[in-house]
Amino acid sequence: MAWRSSGASNVDLVENLWRNGLITDPRVKEAFLKVDRAHYAPSMPYMDSPQSIGYDATISAPHMHAHATESLLHHVLPSPRNSAPRVLDIGSGSGYLTHILAELVGDRGLVVGLEHIPELKDLGERNMAKSAEGRALLASGKVRFRVGDGRKGWDEPPREGEGQEEGTAGDRGWDAIHVGAAAVELHQELIDQLRVPGRLFIPVEDEHGFGDQYIWAVDKKENGSIAKEKLFGVRYVPLTDAPRPREDW
């Protein structure tokens, strides 16, 4: 139903995603309504389709961001046990999903958008600064953009007052990790950085080398065990080194 979910405005887009069952949780719908995709997509922002944002990167189709958000939701929302969820958005690109996740983590939560291309890190920050809500998120430290190799995850110092609950104090890991580019494998560093409990949402290339990609949900359970589930096929840009600058000949 994704092809029927485009709209003439942000409200139209979100309502069509909701009506077609691509957004099913009211909390996710509310977060999507708060973030105008026009601040993040270079053109036709309310089309349910991916778009190039330069540097061999894309902003994913809205329905894919909806799938990712709903898959990670219970690890993103604050709870009595953890009032300060920590979320890592690898391959944050335009910053759109980073902003949506920040609308869900509560006042004490933290969302880090990680890019391996400095220009895309800057793009995410600029896009978020287009709205008063985005500027407030950046100013508060609730959202931070960083440059690094997403295959290795990221170590981010806590916000002031973060991590006071039992089991989280001093833990700089992540309750939820979203990866917005296709990895060649389930990188162990990312699994190691999950808190208990925690979830990783990641597209991975097919191990048989046929060019297929699949979304995997990887859960670190309360007892520390790991559960992996292949969800559905996708098509993402690869999670690789930053492209090398072209030389003048």
pLDDT in tens, 56-84: 889 999 999 999 999 999 999 999 999 99
CATH superfamily label, 51-234: Vaccinia Virus protein VP39 (3.40.50.150)
H/E element holding 53? strand 51-54
Report whether 1 contacts 22 (CB < 8 A): yes
Q: State the catalytic residues.
A: 60
Tokens of 19: 């009506």
- Return the domain boundaries, the chain: 51-234
Report whether 87 contacts 176 (CB < 8 A): yes
User: Whole-prediction pTM value?
Assistant: 0.89
> d(Cα 202, Cα 179) in Å, to the nearest integer?
5
Report whether 203 contacts 181 (CB < 8 A): yes
Residue 97 DSSP one-character state = H
> d(Cα 219, Cα 197) in Å, to the nearest integer?
7
pLDDT in tens, 94-127: 999 999 999 999 999 999 999 999 999 999 999 9
Query: Helix, strand, or coil here: 101?
Result: helix
